[in-house]
């Protein structure tokens, strides 16, 4: 895989308890896909990069099946907002808010994320 | 047998229907529609062993439709309406004084109303020897079964009668592989429907197909051997034809015996005499369909007039006002032996002062004639070889066409002005003559009943559900109407692309686009161009690029570069995701053939990694419960033992199942295992709109279930028969015969073309079965394209497949040898050594199953924080 030189050395960080926590290098991410990462408390997050180079993070657990797989879903955008579709039963989750687009009653946690000065929108 | 709860004999009247054919069933539906079935007891006596089926489509039995496919009775119809149906129990006597009907079983029913719908019987000329073994008629499913069986090891067949049905029967015999003769007493084929010029064009085309036509002669005698089996037929001109089988198709006669026996009026030349309400000479008895001699003095041998009669009687019984039956259109359009033939209106030009407008191209086998009245009105016509304009012309009959008649028969491109569209038709023009549906009713289905698709309109109006010849015009009308009401018909793939999958394929192929990004930026919907695409178009485009990769000269490896981001999750990890986040592994086992050594390797791997093993429905072995980080290790062992990816995760070729075949089986006539392996190795890795499955059976017993596959191969003594468009799953469909008795090379060439044509034109996630039913022209069109090369595409399709075959590489072998590609196979990016603790198992039946209790809680902490130290925050 080719790496854009300016991406080297950039760390992807999540805001956890008011502190930035680095989960991986930007080069670990493929635009349009995700990876799973462990947080210090042992919980799992799914970290994504969209085609514009912006990182996002939400819970890795798919609330519909209980399986820890959201990181393996496909990214897309609807009305200009990025989402991930669960690889199991395809429900979509907004990457900025964690809200499920196919079931209003379901939300997963979303994390503020940054890579260098590129940052995902603040979580409401 | 369907028995409804007994209704009180005194209060509810009893309607008895004799004959459950096409018209009989339509009558029952009309009764149900009008609510009559809920207030009357309805008893049906059916002579045949099965409920009503589509006799018009009878011949399609030979091209793969089953007797069940042909059924006209919706599941549960009889039960729902409390109709008592007695199969295989014909009426034998009617006592009009006592108002009873007695059936063969002895069952006697007292009726208030009796409806005779006994149809016709094929007329067999009284020639000597007509009862020899090998003589058949062509009317019922049983007839076809008997012909098929008898034809098995016979070489030559003869059809007596060159009319519509005779040609159809001849086509069927030819399809069964027999040398086929047609003997017609008249000077031309289809004398009833077409004129001399049309007959000549038809004959030329039929002869070009290898059928032998004898016109102006009759069969004089059937010659049989000592065992009583047909060997030849002597003709009236003194010559004779050696033949093993004879089908009589010399016209039909109304079945009016029952009516004669009970003293009802019948016509001089047969047919039960009825009035405009279809009442016989006894007001309690009706006759409908082919057995009736109607008020206009005719016996109709077509189904549409019969339907009208059925409706007339139902109206009468429901006390609904109706026009009655005074006559019907006998227009027909048929595809006989692949030749379009249509005749409509006054095809023979019998009206005073009428003139013919004729276009004829003997070389192309096209003949078109229009009969135009003195006032310029279109009276009728004959079309042979090109009946495209039938859908337009028939509804125009009786009116003065909006353009000069010559322009209606000239082929496009020969100075014909822009083709006349159905929009030019008046609202009362009949679009579907099978169901007598006008343009007005179709328009109102869209505007008043809110139908938004052609299938909805079909369901609502029944238009297009008979012979199917009107579907093209119907589709144009529905789309025009939708557009006129401001409903745009968006055929786009998804919110990101306004193009269909097939259009995107063409764009990628011709503009040689190798990335999703370029395709989206250059050809996506304006509003989606800068976005991230979606989960619908990404895998679809990924698949298009992958199937064209060898030809575009780009990497076919699905995890490279941007391609990786497009793949569905299964393709992304080259394995199938299971409910607890673990994966299953399916190594390819071509043709289902496997050595003991390989079985042992699979067993050892499963044991060492604690995987659940199961034999799949596709003749291979699935290993379940691998964690994502175990996939590469497991595959390294599998590749080492000579296994390859089985693509169980991809929209790609899955398996080619095989039966054991000639090598071992006492019935086998070809080596089905070898062929299955050859096919599986040839098409492995081929990305397509949906998964592809295949099977090869060693003889007609079909143990490999090839007809349930996208492309299925069945051995014959002479080679292979190729069937396409089969499907298991939720909507099973038997594959249709595409070509027969192919040698190995012909078989493979044809499959190459078929698959590439499918990949090129199908919608996303459209299996071959749905595709075949959707595309215009259906199987015939596909056969034209891939067998007769009607679009001149075959060379290109073959080249595309050759590229695929040459470019194939095993995805797993490529993956395990490349550290960069292996990076994704970890549970956690920041803790590559930690296994995912939520993927755990509990025992079941000596193996394992997912531990789902782990997944039910809100979150599960992972106790491997030591691995995180290096990445803690700044
Ligand atoms: C493993 C297997 C069941 C088994 O244990 O036997 C299986 C398992 C699945 N089938 Fe199947 N099918 C399996 C044989 C079949 C068969 C039998 C056959 O191929 O002869 C059929 C009917 C034949 C057919 O496809 O026409 C079959 C018809 C389906 C369908 C319905 C397809 C349709 O057109 O209606 C689906 C759903 C789909 O693909 O959209 C499906 C989908 C699936 C999926 C992919 C469902 C899913 O999304 O998770 C399952 C994933 C398998 C996995 O995770 O490994 N599976 N599936 C079989 C694997 C065969 C193989 O060796 O590759
Ligand atoms: C191969 C073929 C192709 C055709 N193609 C076309 C076409 O393209 N277009 C078209 O319009 N028409 C076509 N026809 C004609 C069409 O099938 C008939 O017009 C239609 O079937 C007539 O319907 P029916 O109900 O009157 O008769 P049938 O469908 O023949 O039904 C009559 C039923 O009554 C049963 N019966 C008879 N006597 C008794 C009794 N005593 N007791 C109980 N049951 C009895 C018979 O067994 C039969 O099942 C074709 C026919 C054939 C054979
Ligand atoms: S399909 Fe024919 S050859 Fe194959 S196993 Fe069955 S009976 Fe034998
Ligand atoms: S004309 Fe036969 S289905 Fe419409």
pLDDT tens digit string along A37-81?
Answer: 999 888 999 999 998 889 999 999 999 999 999 999 999 988 888
**Phi, psi dihedrals of residue B194, rounded to the nearest 5°:** -115, 160
pLDDT at A84 over 80: yes
Provide the pairing of β-strand A55-59 with B378-384: unpaired
**pLDDT of amino acid B856:** 78
Q: What share of chain B is helix, strand, coil (3-state, %, to 5)?
A: 35, 20, 45
CB atoms within 10 A of CB B454: 18
B841 DSSP β-pair partners: B850
At residue A117 the predicted structure's pLDDT band, cuts being 50, 70 and 90, is low
Provide the pairing of β-strand B219-224 with B230-235: antiparallel
**pLDDT of amino acid B2:** 42
Q: Which residue has the tokens 């990786």?
A: B564
ipTM, 2 decimals? 0.70
**Which stretches of B485-536 are DSSP H helices?**
501-511, 516-523
Nearest chain A residue (CA) to B871: A22
Return the ∠ at Cα B802 (arms to B801 and B805), rounded to 5°. 85
Per CB-CB distance under 8 Å, the chain B contacts of A88 are: 577, 579
Binary contact (B577, A69; C-beta < 8 A):
yes
B96 DSSP β-pair partners: none
Ligand 3 centroid, distance to B660 Cα (angstroms): 7
Binary contact (B829, A35; C-beta < 8 A):
yes
Instruction: Give the mutation target among B464, B472, B473, B478 for probing the ligand 4 site: most ligand atoms within 8 A of CB.
Output: B464
Q: Which atom of ligand 3 is nearest to the CA of B666?
A: 8
Nearest chain A residue (CA) to B866: A40
Angle of helix B303-317 versus helix B22-33 axis, rounded to 10: 30
At residue A4 the predicted structure's pLDDT band, cuts being 50, 70 and 90, is very low
Residues 257-316 in B contacting A (C-alpha not used; CB under 8 Å): none
Q: Which atom of ligand 3 is nearest to the CA of B668?
A: 3
Q: From atom 12 of ligand 2, which residue's Cα is the shortest distance away?
A: B302
**pLDDT of amino acid B131:** 93
Where chain B has pLDDT below 50, the residues are 1-9, 413-419, 860-874
Query: Does ligand 3 come within 6 angstroms of the Cβ of B664?
Result: no
* B813 in A contact zone (CB under 8 Å): no
Q: Which ligand is nearest to the CA of B436?
A: 4
**pLDDT of amino acid A90:** 85
Q: From atom 51 of ligand 1, which residue's Cα is the shortest distance away?
A: B576
Residues 483-522 in B contacting A (C-alpha not used; CB under 8 Å): 495, 517
Q: How far apart are CA B227 and CA A80, in angstroms?
A: 81
Per CB-CB distance under 8 Å, the chain A contacts of B852 are: 66
Per CB-CB distance under 8 Å, the chain A contacts of B874 are: 20, 22
Per CB-CB distance under 8 Å, the chain A contacts of B819 are: none
CB atoms within 10 A of CB B722: 26
Binary contact (B535, A59; C-beta < 8 A):
no
Q: Which member of B565, B856, B867 has the closest CB to residue A66? A: B856
Query: Does ligand 3 come within 6 angstroms of the Cβ of B701?
Result: yes
Q: Which atom of ligand 2 is nearest to the CA of B467?
A: 8
Q: How far apart are CA B635 and CA B641, in angstroms?
A: 10
pTM as predicted: 0.56
Those residues whose C-beta lies under 8 Å from the C-beta of residue B260, and which sit 6 or more positions away, are: B266
* B535 in A contact zone (CB under 8 Å): yes
B712 DSSP β-pair partners: B695, B723
B134 contacts B305 by C-beta, under 8 angstroms: no
pLDDT tens digit string along B470-528?
Answer: 777 888 888 888 877 777 667 788 889 988 898 899 899 888 898 999 999 999 998 88
**pLDDT of amino acid A124:** 37
Q: How many CA atoms lie within 13 A of B143 on its CB side?
A: 19
Q: How many CA atoms lie within 13 A of B340 on its CB side?
A: 18
Provide the pairing of β-strand B41-45 with B83-86: parallel
Q: Which tokens is B766 given?
A: 């459209």
DSSP string, B433-466: TTTTEEHHHHHHHHHTT---SHHHHHHHH-TTSS
- Measure CA B484 to chain center: 31
B164 contacts B199 by C-beta, under 8 angstroms: no
Per CB-CB distance under 8 Å, the chain A contacts of B831 are: 37-38
Q: How far is B449 from chain A (nearest CA, A)?
A: 30
């Amino acid at each position: 895989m080719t790496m854009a030189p300016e991406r080297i050395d950039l760390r992807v960080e999540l805001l956890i308890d008011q502190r930035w926590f680095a989960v991986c290098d930007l080069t670990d991410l493929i635009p349009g896909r995700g990876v799973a990462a462990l947080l210090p408390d042992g919980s799992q997050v799914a970290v994504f990069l969209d085609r514009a180079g912006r990182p996002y993070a939400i819970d890795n657990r798919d609330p519909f099946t209980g399986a820890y797989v959201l990181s393996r879903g496909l990214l897309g955008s609807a009305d200009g907002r990025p989402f991930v579709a669960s690889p199991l039963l395809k429900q979509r989750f907004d990457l900025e808010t964690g809200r499920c687009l196919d079931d209003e009653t379901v939300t997963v946690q979303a994390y503020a994320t940054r890579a260098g000065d590129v940052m995902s929108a603040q979580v409401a | 047998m369907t028995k409804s709860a007994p209704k009180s004999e005194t209060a509810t009247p009893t309607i008895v229907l004799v004959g459950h054919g096409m018209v009989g069933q339509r009558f029952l539906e009309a009764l149900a529609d009008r609510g009559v079935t809920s207030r009357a007891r309805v008893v049906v006596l059916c002579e045949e062993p099965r409920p009503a089926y589509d006799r018009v489509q009878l011949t399609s039995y030979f091209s793969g439709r089953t007797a069940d496919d042909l059924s006209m009775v919706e599941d549960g119809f009889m039960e729902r309406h409390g109709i008592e149906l007695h199969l295989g129990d014909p009426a034998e006597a009617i006592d009009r004084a006592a108002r009873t009907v007695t059936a063969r079983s002895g069952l006697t029913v007292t009726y208030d109303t009796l409806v005779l719908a006994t149809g016709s019987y094929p007329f067999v000329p009284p020639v000597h020897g007509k009862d020899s073994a090998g003589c058949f008629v062509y009317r019922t499913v049983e007839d076809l079964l008997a012909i098929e069986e008898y034809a098995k090891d016979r070489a030559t067949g003869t059809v007596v009668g060159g009319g519509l049905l005779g040609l159809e029967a001849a086509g069927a015999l030819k399809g069964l592989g027999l040398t086929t003769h047609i003997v017609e007493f008249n000077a031309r084929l289809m004398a009833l429907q077409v004129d001399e010029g049309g007959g000549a064009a038809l004959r030329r085309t039929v002869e070009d197909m290898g059928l032998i036509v004898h016109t102006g002669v009759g069969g004089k005698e059937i010659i049989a051997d000592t065992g009583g089996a047909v060997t030849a037929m002597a003709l009236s001109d003194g010559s004779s034809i050696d033949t093993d089988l004879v089908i009589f198709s010399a016209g039909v006669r109304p079945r009016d015996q029952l009516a004669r026996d009970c003293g009802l009026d019948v016509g001089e030349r047969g047919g039960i005499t009825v009035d405009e309400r279809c009442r016989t000479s006894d007001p309690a008895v009706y006759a409908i369909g082919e057995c009736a001699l109607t008020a206009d003095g005719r016996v109709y041998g077509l189904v549409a007039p019969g339907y009208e009669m059925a409706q007339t009687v139902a109206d009468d019984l429901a006390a609904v006002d109706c026009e009655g039956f005074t006559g019907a259109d006998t227009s027909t359009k048929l595809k006989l032996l692949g030749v379009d033939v249509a005749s409509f209106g006054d095809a023979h030009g019998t009206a005073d002062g009428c003139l013919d407008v004729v276009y004829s191209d003997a070389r192309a086998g096209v003949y078109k004639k229009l009969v135009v009245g003195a006032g310029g009105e279109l009276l009728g016509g004959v079309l042979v070889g090109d009946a495209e304009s039938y859908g337009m012309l028939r509804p125009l009959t009786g009116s003065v066409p909006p353009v000069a008649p010559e322009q209606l028969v000239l082929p496009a491109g020969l100075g014909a002005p822009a083709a006349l569209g159905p929009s030019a038709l008046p609202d009362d023009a009949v679009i579907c003559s099978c169901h007598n549906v006008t343009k007005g009713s179709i328009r109102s289905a869209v505007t008043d009943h809110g139908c938004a698709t052609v299938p909805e309109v079909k369901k609502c109006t029944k238009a297009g559900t008979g012979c199917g010849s009107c579907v093209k015009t119907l589709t144009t009308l529905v789309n025009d109407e939708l557009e006129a009401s401001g409903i745009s018909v968006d055929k786009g793939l998804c919110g990101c692309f306004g193009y269909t999958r097939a259009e995107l394929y063409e764009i990628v192929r011709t503009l040689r686009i190798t990335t999703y990004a370029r395709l989206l930026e250059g050809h996506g919907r304006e509003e989606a161009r800068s976005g991230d695409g979606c989960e619908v178009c990404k895998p679809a485009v990924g698949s298009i690029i992958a199937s064209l990769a060898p030809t575009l000269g780009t990497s076919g490896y699905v995890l490279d570069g941007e391609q990786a981001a497009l793949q569905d999750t299964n393709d992304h990890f080259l394995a199938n995701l299971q409910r607890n986040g673990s994966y299953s592994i399916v190594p390819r086992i071509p043709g289902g053939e496997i050595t003991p050594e390989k079985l042992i390797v699979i067993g050892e791997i499963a044991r060492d990694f604690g995987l659940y093993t199961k034999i799949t429905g596709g003749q291979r072995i699935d290993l379940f419960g691998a964690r994502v980080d175990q996939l590469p290790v497991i595959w390294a062992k599998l590749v080492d033992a000579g296994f390859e990816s089985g693509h169980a995760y991809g929209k790609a070729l899955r398996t080619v199942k095989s039966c054991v075949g000639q090598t071992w089986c006492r019935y086998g006539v070809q080596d089905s295992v070898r062929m299955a392996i050859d096919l599986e190795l040839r098409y492995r890795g081929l990305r397509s709109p949906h998964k592809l499955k295949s099977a090869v059976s060693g003889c007609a017993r079909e143990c490999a279930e090839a007809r349930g596959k996208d492309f299925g191969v069945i051995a014959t003594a002479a080679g292979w028969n190729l069937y396409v468009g089969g499907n298991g799953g939720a909507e099973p469909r038997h594959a249709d015969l595409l070509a027969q008795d192919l040698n190995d090379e012909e078989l493979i060439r044809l499959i190459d073309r078929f698959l590439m044509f499918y990949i090129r034109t199908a919608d996303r996630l459209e299996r071959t079965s749905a595709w075949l039913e959707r595309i215009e022209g259906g199987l015939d069109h596909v056969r034209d394209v891939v067998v007769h090369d009607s679009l001149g595409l075959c060379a290109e399709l073959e080249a595309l497949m050759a590229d695929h075959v040459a470019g194939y590489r095993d995805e797993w072998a490529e993956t395990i040898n490349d550290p960069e590609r292996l990076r994704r196979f970890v549970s956690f990016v920041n803790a590559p050594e930690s296994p995912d603790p939520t993927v755990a198992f509990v025992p079941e039946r000596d193996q394992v199953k997912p531990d789902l209790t782990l997944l039910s809680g809100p979150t599960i902490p992972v106790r491997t924080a030591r691995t995180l130290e290096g990445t803690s925050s700044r």
